[in-house]
Amino acid sequence: MSANSTSQQQFAALDLGSNSFHLIIVRLVEGQLQPIFKFKQPVQLAQGLNGRYLSDAASARGLDV
C-alpha cells in the first residue's frame, strides 16, 4: 500500500476563551498527533461582560470570528 492511498485520521479542537478563540487541526501519524493547522483570533469577550451578559459589540466580535 502506498503512502498516497493510506488515509490518515484528522482531528480538530476549538477553544472558545474569554480573550481569544483557538483552533488546531492535527493528524494522527504513527500514534502521534501532528499539528497541520493552528489559528488564534483575539475576541476580548470579557471586556464586553456587563454583569451576566455580553454587550452587543462583544457578541458581534465572537460571531465574526
| pLDDT digits 0-9 by tens, 11-60 | 999 999 999 999 999 999 999 999 999 999 999 998 888 888 999 999 99
Total count of domains within the chain? 1
| The CA-based dihedral angle spanning residues 50, 51, 56, 60, taken in that order and rounded to the nearest 10 degrees | 90
Give CA–CA dist 30/49, Å, rounded. 44
CATH number of the domain to which 44 belongs: 3.30.420.40
CA 38 to each of CA 8, 20, 55: distance values in angstroms, whole numbers, following the listed order: 18, 13, 28
Give CA–CA dist 62/27, Å, rounded. 27
Question: Is the pTM for the entire model greater than 0.75?
Answer: no
What is the pLDDT at residue 49?
A: 87
Domain that holds residue 14: 3-64
DSSP bridge partners of 26: 11, 35
